[in-house]
Amino acid sequence: MKRLVILLIILMPLWTGCINDIPTDCEESNPDATFMSFRSSQIILPSDATGVVESITIESVRILVFSKATGQVVTNELFDIDNLSLASQDPETGDWQIDFSNIVVETRPGLSIVYVVLNENIVKISNQTLTLALNTITNLTEMQALVNTPLSYTNPLKVTYNTEGKPDEPPFIMSTFDEFDILPGRPRESPYLADLRGSGSSLKGFELDRTMAKVTIDSISSYPIPEGPTTNNAETSYIFILKMGLVNVPMQYLWSPNRLQTTPPNPNPYAVPVPPYTGTYQEIDFGLEAPLLGYYDRDWNGSILLNIDADTYEVQEAKDTRIWYTGDGKGNNAYSIYKNKLDSNFIAGKQIADECYQSFYTDTNGDGFVDPTPLNLNAGNFATEVRKIYSNPNDSNFLPTYYVLIEPYNLNPQVNGSYWTLKEKKISYYVPEHILANKIETLNATKLHIRAAKASLPDTISREESTQIVWNETSWKPWIYSLGPGGINFESLNGTEFTNTMIGIHGSILDVITVPSGKNKGTHQIVRHYWSGLIRYREGHAKGTLQGKKFQDITSSTNIMDFYLPVRNTPASPVDYNIYRNHEYKFSVHALEQWNPAAAGVVSGTRNATTDPGGISMVLRMSNR
Question: Which pLDDT score is estimated for 618?
Answer: 54
The pLDDT of residue 531 is above 70: yes
For residues 99 and 80, what is the distance between their CA atoms, to the nearest angstrom? 13
Band (pLDDT 50/70/90 cuts) for residue 170 is confident
| 343, 398: one domain | yes
Top pLDDT among 253 and 294 is at 294
Question: Among residues 117, 7, 101, which one has the least CA distance to residue 59?
Answer: 117
Is 72 within 8 Å of 138 (Cβ atoms)?
yes
Residue ranges making up the domain that contains 183? 6-210+250-282
Top pLDDT among 121 and 444 is at 444
The pLDDT of residue 201 is above 70: no
Alpha carbon 44 to chain centroid, angstroms: 31
Domain boundary among the residues 543, 573, 606 is at: 543
Question: Which pLDDT score is estimated for 119?
Answer: 87
* 608 falls within a domain: yes
Q: Is the peptide bond before 574 cis (omega within 30 degrees of 0)?
A: yes
Band (pLDDT 50/70/90 cuts) for residue 268 is confident
Range of lowest pLDDT (1-5, 69-73, 528-532, 552-556): 1-5
Question: Which pLDDT score is estimated for 116?
Answer: 87
Question: Among residues 436, 448, 449, which one has the least CA distance to residue 575?
Answer: 436
For residues 214 and 246, what is the distance between their CA atoms, to the nearest angstrom? 12
Mean pLDDT of 298-317: 97
Question: Which pLDDT score is estimated for 392?
Answer: 86
If residue 236 lies in a helix (H) or strand (E), which one and from where to where? helix 233-236
pLDDT of 368-404, one tens digit each? Answer: 999 999 999 999 999 999 999 999 888 899 999 999 9
For residues 131 and 124, what is the distance between their CA atoms, to the nearest angstrom? 8
The pLDDT of residue 206 is above 60: no
pLDDT of 548-570, one tens digit each? Answer: 999 999 999 999 999 999 999 98
For residues 480 and 476, what is the distance between their CA atoms, to the nearest angstrom? 11
Mean pLDDT of 193-215: 63
| 161, 101: one domain | yes
Residue 165 CA: distances (Å) to CA of 48, 55, 161, 286, 550:
11, 12, 5, 19, 30
Q: Is the peptide bond before 374 cis (omega within 30 degrees of 0)?
A: no
| 342, 226: one domain | no
For the chain, what is the domain count?
3
**Three-class SS of residue 147?**
helix
Range of lowest pLDDT (113-117, 233-237, 444-448, 597-601): 597-601
* 419 falls within a domain: no
| 195, 220: one domain | no
Beta-bridge partner residues of 161: 167
| 470, 521: one domain | yes
* 436 falls within a domain: no
Residue 516: CB atoms within 10 Å: 8
Beta strands (DSSP E) in 194-317 are 208-209, 212-221, 239-250, 252-253, 281-285, 298-300, 303-316
Question: Which pLDDT score is estimated for 59?
Answer: 82
* 71 falls within a domain: yes
Question: Which pLDDT score is estimated for 385?
Answer: 95
Domain boundary among the residues 508, 543, 578 is at: 543
φ, ψ at 165 (rounded to 5°): 85, 10
Sign of CA dihedral 599, 239, 552, 554: positive
Band (pLDDT 50/70/90 cuts) for residue 452 is very high
Residue 339: CB atoms within 10 Å: 14
For residues 370 and 361, what is the distance between their CA atoms, to the nearest angstrom? 6
For residues 249 and 448, what is the distance between their CA atoms, to the nearest angstrom? 10
Range of lowest pLDDT (312-316, 538-542, 606-610): 606-610
| 535, 569: one domain | no
Top pLDDT among 49 and 268 is at 268
Question: Which pLDDT score is estimated for 384?
Answer: 95
For residues 416 and 235, what is the distance between their CA atoms, to the nearest angstrom? 10
Alpha carbon 228 to chain centroid, angstroms: 30
φ, ψ at 22 (rounded to 5°): -100, 125
Range of lowest pLDDT (20-29, 97-106, 132-141, 466-475): 20-29
Top pLDDT among 81 and 78 is at 78
Top pLDDT among 25 and 269 is at 269
* 301 falls within a domain: no
For residues 595 and 338, what is the distance between their CA atoms, to the nearest angstrom? 63
Mean pLDDT of 335-360: 97
Band (pLDDT 50/70/90 cuts) for residue 240 is very high
For residues 5 and 169, what is the distance between their CA atoms, to the nearest angstrom? 13
The pLDDT of residue 12 is above 60: no
Is 438 within 8 Å of 331 (Cβ atoms)?
no
Question: Which pLDDT score is estimated for 604?
Answer: 46
Top pLDDT among 234 and 225 is at 234
| 161, 201: one domain | yes
For residues 398 and 314, what is the distance between their CA atoms, to the nearest angstrom? 14
| 16, 122: one domain | yes
| 364, 506: one domain | yes
State the virtual CA torsion across 279, 282, 284, 285 in degrees, nearest 10: 170
Is 156 within 8 Å of 251 (Cβ atoms)?
no
The pLDDT of residue 13 is above 50: no
Question: Which pLDDT score is estimated for 90?
Answer: 61
Mean pLDDT of 116-132: 83
Range of lowest pLDDT (72-86, 335-349, 389-403, 536-550): 72-86
| 613, 490: one domain | no
The pLDDT of residue 205 is above 70: no
The pLDDT of residue 605 is above 90: no
For residues 128 and 91, what is the distance between their CA atoms, to the nearest angstrom? 43
Sign of CA dihedral 376, 377, 379, 385: negative
Mean pLDDT of 487-505: 94
Question: Which pLDDT score is estimated for 211?
Answer: 84
The pLDDT of residue 620 is above 60: no
Question: Which pLDDT score is estimated for 198?
Answer: 47
Residue type, 564: Y
Q: What is the DSSP string of 428-486?
A: EEEEE-B--SSTT--TTS-EEEEEEEE-B------HHHHTT-EEEEEEE---EEESSTT
Mean pLDDT of 606-620: 44
φ, ψ at 46 (rounded to 5°): -75, 145
| 66, 41: one domain | yes
Residue 280: CB atoms within 10 Å: 8
The pLDDT of residue 196 is above 90: no
Question: Which pLDDT score is estimated for 94?
Answer: 56
* 557 falls within a domain: no
Alpha helices in 272-410 (DSSP H): 341-347, 382-390
| 34, 76: one domain | yes
Could you give the count of Cα atoms lying within 13 Å of 343 in the half-sphere of its Cβ?
Answer: 8
Alpha helices in 61-151 (DSSP H): 130-135, 140-147
For residues 475 and 496, what is the distance between their CA atoms, to the nearest angstrom? 35
**Three-class SS of residue 583?**
strand
Interstrand relation of 413-416 and 88-89 (parallel, antiparallel or unpaired)? unpaired
Interstrand relation of 617-620 and 584-591 (parallel, antiparallel or unpaired)? parallel
Question: Which pLDDT score is estimated for 86?
Answer: 55
3-state DSSP helix/strand/coil percent for the chain, to nearest 5? 10, 35, 50
* 1 falls within a domain: no
Band (pLDDT 50/70/90 cuts) for residue 415 is very high
Residue 309 DSSP class: E
For residues 85 and 422, what is the distance between their CA atoms, to the nearest angstrom? 31
Band (pLDDT 50/70/90 cuts) for residue 293 is very high
Is 138 within 8 Å of 110 (Cβ atoms)?
no
The pLDDT of residue 615 is above 70: no
* 292 falls within a domain: no
The pLDDT of residue 5 is above 50: no
